[in-house]
Amino acid sequence: MSLRRVLTLLLLALLVSTLPIPAPLLAEEGCSSVVFLAVEPGGEGIAMNVRVCVDGREPQPVIGIENVYSVDPSVPASFKLALIALELVAGVDTDRRVTVEFLDNPRSVRGPSAGFAFALAVMRAMGVAEPRGRVAATGFLNIDGFVDPVAGVTAKLRAAADAGVEQVYVPLLNIPDVPGGLGLEVVYVAMIAGLLNKSGTWTFDRELVHEVMRVMGGVAEELLRGAGPEAPKTLV
């Protein structure tokens, strides 16, 4: 990683650290579907259809995971971290019961890279992110609201294309891992603030968020120049 990129990320961390903690946003209850992307032990990508439902108020978030053989502890841990980020950064009241149902054949689930896909499904189910039909996502959602890069993106995107997914959300810093020619609309995500609809954006200091996104836009341009002319160029 270049010195310029390190300094840029440090600046972003400083900017986000000054974001005020918003008042909880009272959101709707409902369900949303999203495609989780993963990599098999042999390196082959896999696309998993998942439904996430949010209902009922609880003293603290309660997460249930259904229709799986086994679940590595890193999976619910990443989901809990995502809910904390949604509350701290997006101001969403996440003291709810959240059910994650894997709709395909049961399998073992492991790794934290579904945290962002889980958060996206929760946001859509609660009405604070616009529904966009059948979408896929991968990325580690950190507690500060940034979507961190993950491994296996190339294999995951091929699996998404094979599954007929048209739109995929990918961490911004994974731009170099995105191949062209798959027929996918790839949306590069820097932080979850960019995914909130009008019902959520009021909780932010907009000028500060815009400054963060301006800096991230500079990082994106640098990465895209190195990724070649076929790289998709959508940034959130």
Q: What is the pLDDT of residues 64-85, one digit of tens each?
A: 999 988 888 889 999 999 998 8
H-state helical runs in the chain: 3-17, 74-90, 115-125, 153-162, 198-201, 206-227
pLDDT, mean of residues 34-47:
91
| Rounded CA separation 158/58 (Å) | 39
**60 has a pLDDT exceeding 60:** yes
Q: Is residue 75 a contact partner of residue 111, using CB atoms and an 8 Å limit?
A: yes
Angle between helices 206-227 and 3-17 (to 10 degrees): 160
- Beta strands 45-57 and 30-39: pairing type? antiparallel
Residue 84's Cα: distance from chain center in Å? Answer: 13
pLDDT, mean of residues 144-154:
90
**43 has a pLDDT exceeding 50:** yes
Q: Is residue 111 a contact partner of residue 72, using CB atoms and an 8 Å limit?
A: yes
Q: What is the pLDDT of residue 183?
A: 87
| Rounded CA separation 94/27 (Å) | 9
Domains, the chain: 28-235 (3.30.230.10)
Q: What is the pLDDT of residue 54?
A: 92
Q: Name the more confident of 134 and 17.
A: 134
Q: What is the pLDDT of residue 126?
A: 86
Q: Is residue 212 a contact partner of residue 15, using CB atoms and an 8 Å limit?
A: yes
Q: Is residue 43 a contact partner of residue 229, using CB atoms and an 8 Å limit?
A: no
pLDDT band, very low/low/confident/very high, at 230 (cuts 50, 70, 90) = very low
Q: Name the more confident of 160 and 126.
A: 160
pLDDT, mean of residues 139-166:
91
Q: What is the pLDDT of residue 206?
A: 46
pLDDT in tens, 165-223: 988 999 988 988 888 888 888 888 888 877 765 443 333 344 544 555 555 555 555 55
Angle between helices 115-125 and 74-90 (to 10 degrees): 50
Q: What is the pLDDT of residue 223?
A: 52
